[in-house]
Structure 1
Amino acid sequence: MKTVGIVGANGYTGSELVRLLAFHPNIELSFLYSRSNSGTKISDLYPDLATVCELVLTDKPSSVDIVFLCLPHKESQNWLNQNTVSDDTLVIDLGNDFRLEGVFGNRNFIYGLPEINKKNLLGAKSIANPGCFATAIQLALLPLAQKGLLNEVYTTGITGSTGAGQSLQATTHFTWRNDNISAYKTLTHQHVDEILQQLNSRNDKEVTLNFVPWRGDFTRGIFTSSTVKLNLELSDIEQLYREFYAAEPFVKVHDRAIDLKQVVNTNRCVIHIEKNENVVVIHSAIDNLLKGASGQAVQNMNIAMGWEENLGLKLKGIGF
């Protein structure tokens, strides 16, 4: 059994990790860190965790084998500076502090998209978990980048309200979100640089990504549609994708239309490809809190520790 600490356990991604790791056969939850809710039982914040996890949140972390950082963006570096973490401890950061520049002291963070970095993740001690939109969009485009087939990409994507985090904002109020959608951070979303860093490292020419994200009137999930121009037959493109993801347990290429409900409450990504003349659209869907955050973090932990990749992640979609 490996001991685990979760920093920022009171947030959406942190509490989702509690739900996953409470049932992980190789894990013992040691501490749940929160400055704002120290002294409160996690089950008092999230009643669904009653009998599942009754740990009390603390602002005094202990020594553990694995620590997950579920902090607001740019806060992970501050926490690591203020707390002593052994070099032998596996650190998995779910924020964006180390996705572009992965060096912190003597730690070199590996970019944690398992479908492209699995070999580097094995035995890693520092992992930068990808962003949610970044995961969905990269999984939709990486097979084309690997063949040098990308040039200009136009992507739209819609995300659930949990993507905005737990802190209340004007755009997360029920009265604003319900029966409403809106675009935000058009062409300037923080995940664009992260996506381009990975695509350009594989594509033989520079990729341009024009990304328009949308806020949806649902709780969780991401659905993206990426449009590119290709002079290939649809059957050849589909074959390319199936070969690229043949050994990946959490990515499935479908030959018919996909739905968000297929992936909500799972660590899976589903992909569907459509083509009209030389215009190709690649659709992808994930759960933003699982494959887009906490589930992928557990997947990365499993790989780093040499365990079965889907350990603790055999989850079913909500269906209805």
Structure 2
Amino acid sequence: MHNPNTPIRIGIVGGAGYTAGELIRLLLIHPMAELVWVHSKSQSGQLVACTHRDLLGDTALRFCETFDFEAIDLLFLCVGHGEAEVFMAQNTPPAALRVIDLSQDFRLHSPDNRFVYGLVELNRPALREAQYIANPGCFATAIQLALLPLAQAGALHDEVHIHAITGSTGAGQKLSPSSHFSWRNSNVSVYKAFEHQHLAEIGQSLRQLQPGFQKALNFIPMRGNFTRGIMATLYTHWEADRPEAEALFKAFYADSPQVHLVAQNPDLKQVVNTNKTLLHLEVHQGKLLIISMIDNLLKGASGQAVQNMNLMFGLPEDTGLRLKAAYF
């Protein structure tokens, strides 16, 4: 059992990407976190602030090339998809070391998977007891938070139609044709229509609450010409009125300090640079429209990872995460 008055000693593997940079920023201001080391194969020996330039003056840490598991209480894996599974197979962390993986490698349940799925609003009790946590995907987070209250009530009776747009940081730091400024600027495009990899974890979570749900999730993901944030709009069949839907959502998120049901139609800037989720409901001719907004790098990645860390170590889940939106 970790002493609640002692800082949580932390190591990060895969420290050069966007999610690691945001994670480092959050940990440096967290009142109970001590960032001991940050590993990067590509940046070994370099100052962390030379790669993550927004951290200039905030840390003198350098990227390391070895893993000192004995010096830490918690390990964050910020490696690429497919690499976390290899890392866990090739390394033997101490029995007491806790791990939070930000890749997709351990999100789906299987008999040999020791990781608890880290959507706080779904698995809060289990996450408090977990040793290994699989952080959810960004699109998956925004979409699940829009649908879980309905699944809890057994109220998903029809197909769900989902349109969601994400910023360029959702594609990671490595340059690609679809993340290059000249292509992305003043441009919007659809990708992986009906086949996005996050659909599997979304379906898994919905069936956890509503086991018989087998209807289609018609998901159209889009690339936006902005850097960060996700706006998802979803609609499905709904026979009741808006107050009844709002009552379901308010009850489901009564103990979630950073999920907010808002009366006014929200805009993306209200969540950028925060760990908040904003949800807005409307009813139109037998359809329930749900608007869900998050910051893809925070609630969709690093902020949610810190939220999971807080639960693991007995802290209020929003510790270090009460951040102001970058609205102006």
With normalisation by structure 1, the TM-score equals: 0.97
Question: Across the two proteins, how many residue pairs are aligned to each other?
Answer: 318
Inter-partner Cα distance in structure 2 for 1:308 and 1:230: 35
Q: What percentage of aligned pairs have identical amino acids?
A: 48
Higher mean alpha-carbon deviation, 221-230 vs 95-104, is at 95-104
Higher mean alpha-carbon deviation, 166-175 vs 40-49, is at 40-49
Shift of 1:117: 0.5
Which amino acid is the alignment partner of residue 113 of structure 1? L
Shift of 1:84: 2.8
The residue that corresponds to 2:4 in the other structure is none
Give the counterpart of 2:108 among 79, 97, 100: 100
Task: Summarize the alignment of residues 258-269 of structure 1 with structure 2, pairs less than 5 Å apart.
Answer: 258-269=266-277
- The reply to whether residue 53 of structure 1 matches residue 63 of structure 2 is no
SS at the partner of 1:293? helix
Shift of 1:2: 1.8
Residues 102, 109 of structure 1: 8 Å contact kept:
no
Give the counterpart of 1:40 among 32, 46, 61: 46
Higher mean alpha-carbon deviation, 117-126 vs 82-91, is at 82-91
Task: Summarize the alignment of residues 188-227 of structure 1 with structure 2, pairs less than 5 Å apart.
Answer: 188-203=195-210, 204-227=212-235
SS at the partner of 1:226? strand
The residue that corresponds to 1:172 in the other structure is 179
Residues 100, 197 of structure 1: 8 Å contact kept:
yes
Inter-partner Cα distance in structure 1 for 2:104 and 2:35: 24
The residue that corresponds to 1:247 in the other structure is 255
Inter-partner Cα distance in structure 2 for 1:114 and 1:2: 19
Give the counterpart of 1:133 among 115, 135, 139: 139
Inter-partner Cα distance in structure 2 for 1:136 and 1:48: 26
Task: Summarize the alignment of residues 110-189 of structure 1 with structure 2, pairs less than 5 Å apart.
Answer: 110-150=116-156, 151-189=158-196
Inter-partner Cα distance in structure 2 for 1:77 and 1:70: 12
SS at the partner of 1:122? helix
Aligned-residue RMSD, C-alpha: 1.1
Where does the alignment leave 5 or more consecutive residues of structure 1 unmatched? none
Residues 160, 215 of structure 2: 8 Å contact kept:
yes
Shift of 1:102: 5.6
SS at the partner of 1:295? helix
Q: Which stretches of structure 1, 4 residues or longer, exceed 6 Å deviation after superposition?
A: none
Inter-partner Cα distance in structure 2 for 1:103 and 1:303: 24
Shift of 1:103: 6.1
Inter-partner Cα distance in structure 1 for 2:209 and 2:159: 15
Which amino acid is the alignment partner of residue 119 of structure 1? P
Shift of 1:83: 2.5
Residues 272, 282 of structure 1: 8 Å contact kept:
yes
Change (3 A) 1:314 1:220: same
Shift of 1:246: 1.3
The residue that corresponds to 1:75 in the other structure is 83
Residues 98, 131 of structure 2: 8 Å contact kept:
yes
Which amino acid is the alignment partner of residue 99 of structure 2? V
Residues 103, 109 of structure 1: 8 Å contact kept:
no
Where does the alignment leave 5 or more consecutive residues of structure 2 unmatched? 1-6
Which amino acid is the alignment partner of residue 15 of structure 1? G
Residues 18, 53 of structure 1: 8 Å contact kept:
no
Inter-partner Cα distance in structure 1 for 2:251 and 2:159: 24
SS at the partner of 2:121? helix
SS at the partner of 1:108? coil
Change (3 A) 1:166 1:144: same
Shift of 1:240: 1.1
Task: Summarize the alignment of residues 296-315 of structure 1 with structure 2, pairs less than 5 Å apart.
Answer: 296-315=304-323
SS at the partner of 1:88? coil
Shift of 1:207: 3.1
Inter-partner Cα distance in structure 2 for 1:134 and 1:212: 13
Inter-partner Cα distance in structure 1 for 2:194 and 2:53: 39
Which amino acid is the alignment partner of residue 26 of structure 2? L
With normalisation by structure 2, the TM-score equals: 0.95
Residues 104-155 of structure 1, C-alpha deviations (whole Å, 9 max, x = no match)? 6xx7111111111110011311000000000000000000011111131010
Inter-partner Cα distance in structure 2 for 1:293 and 1:20: 12
Shift of 1:24: 1.1
Inter-partner Cα distance in structure 1 for 2:241 and 2:145: 20
Inter-partner Cα distance in structure 2 for 1:129 and 1:314: 20
Give the counterpart of 1:2 among 2, 8, 12: 8
Give the counterpart of 1:29 among 31, 35, 48: 35
Inter-partner Cα distance in structure 2 for 1:225 and 1:112: 23
